[in-house]
Chain A
Amino acid sequence: EAQVTQNPRYLITVTGKKLTVTCSQNMNHEYMSWYRQDPGLGLRQIYYSMNVEVTDKGDVPEGYKVSRKEKRNFPLILESPSPNQTSLYFCASSLLVTNEQFFGPGTRLTVL
């Protein structure tokens, strides 16, 4: 089944404890992206990747890192999480940047 998977789905952590949210797609898509969704603010893009080893900042990249070593994986790294990063995170992929995006199920992160 064609899909985007994210892990973990739920995470409660404490300020400053490094964490990684994994994202994987099995559709051989070139484009991958991370968003955060907050009430009243809609979806905001954190980082995106046009292809392997090519990443770029979105609208709200501060406090996040990404890597794209393989086509299928696009992990989101929070080196030192803070409470303002409490949010619902979505990974998405598309064949090319101009195509429709396929979204993962979301990761609900709480930083205490």
Chain B
Amino acid sequence: SQQGEEDPQALSIQEGENATMNCSYKTSINNLQWYRQNSGRGLVHLILIRSNEREKHSGRLRVTLDTSKKSSSLLITASRAADTASYFCATRGVGNTPLVFGKGTRLSVIA
């Protein structure tokens, strides 16, 4: 099954800096979603971007989608220690296909 692959696997930044995570996938998608997971807890949906959209914003989050390159990026601006978590991209294929998750990027924001 198709799978989003996040890059980098781990990222460590100082508080106040921006964090950028990338996701690549292999086949056509209906939408791409980003989720956040605090250690050992349930995933929380952050943002959904449809295949006909190129950019979306939500608070300090900015997501871009380039379907020609089959890639997406998640930018967190002015990061805070509370942003420390794992971030997953998930792709929804065309038709009633299940959501497929990548392995995640582990973000550490140091105060």
**Chain A residues whose C-beta falls within 8 Å of the C-beta of B96 in the assembled complex:** 50, 97
**Chain B residues whose C-beta falls within 8 Å of the C-beta of A4 in the assembled complex:** 42
**Binding site secondary structure of chain A:** strand
B99 interface residue (CB < 8 Å to A)? yes
The 8 Å CB contact of B101, one of A43, A98, A104, A105, is A43
Distance (Å) between the CB of B95 and the closest chain A CB?
Answer: 9
B40 close to A41 (CB less than 8 A): no
B98 interface residue (CB < 8 Å to A)? yes
> In whole angstroms, how far apart are the Cα atoms of A104 and B42 in the complex?
6
The 8 Å CB contact of A40, one of B33, B40, B92, B103, is B103
**Binding site secondary structure of chain B:** strand
B67 interface residue (CB < 8 Å to A)? no
The 8 Å CB contact of A41, one of B45, B100, B103, is B103
Interface size on A, residues (CB 8 A): 27
B98 close to A43 (CB less than 8 A): no
B41 interface residue (CB < 8 Å to A)? yes
The 8 Å CB contact of B40, one of A50, A102, A106, is A106
> In whole angstroms, how far apart are the Cα atoms of A59 and B86 in the complex?
22
**Chain A residues whose C-beta falls within 8 Å of the C-beta of B35 in the assembled complex:** 101, 103
- Please list the residues of chain A having a beta carbon within 8 angstroms of any beta carbon in chain B: 4, 33, 35, 40-45, 48, 50, 58-59, 88, 90, 92, 97-106, 108
